[in-house]
Amino acid sequence: MLAPGYDITSSVPGDWFIDKNGTSMAAPHVAGAVAMIKHVYPGLTPAEILTAMKNTGEPIFDNSTGKTTPRIQVDAAIDALSGGGGGGGETTITVKKGKGRKSQGGTKGKKK
């Protein structure tokens, strides 16, 4: 399973945000995805959540390995767990992103 781990805006000490890369950026996406699914379906086991995320992830092909791996799609997992329609409802996830900014306004870039 894949999660976003490149060019992720992260908080840093001093009330600033910068873009970072790596596993440390991807792991919180997985934890957040599990938490969102567990919130909607509290009775699911970890194995059921993992299966839902794997079965509904967007297939990503890796040229270097020749393998295709699912990338997490939380809305698709929740929709599939609800039987595909969610009772006519819709799952909406809003993401706002900015680069190199202070959380309460301020100058672009890292704080000196």
The two structure tokens encoding residue 33: 């995805």
E strand segments, the chain: 8-12, 16-20, 58-62, 67-71
**What phi, psi does 12 have (nearest 5°)?**
-135, 160
Residue 111 pLDDT greater than 60, yes or no: no
pLDDT of residue 68: 93
What is the pTM for the complete model shown?
Answer: 0.65
Three-class SS state of 111: coil
Positive or negative, the CA dihedral 96, 100, 101, 102 is positive
- Averaged pLDDT, 80-101: 55
pLDDT of residue 39: 92
From the list 25, 23, 3, the residue with the least C-alpha distance to 12 is: 25
pLDDT digits (tens, 9 = 90+) for 18-56: 999 988 888 888 999 999 999 999 999 999 999 999 999
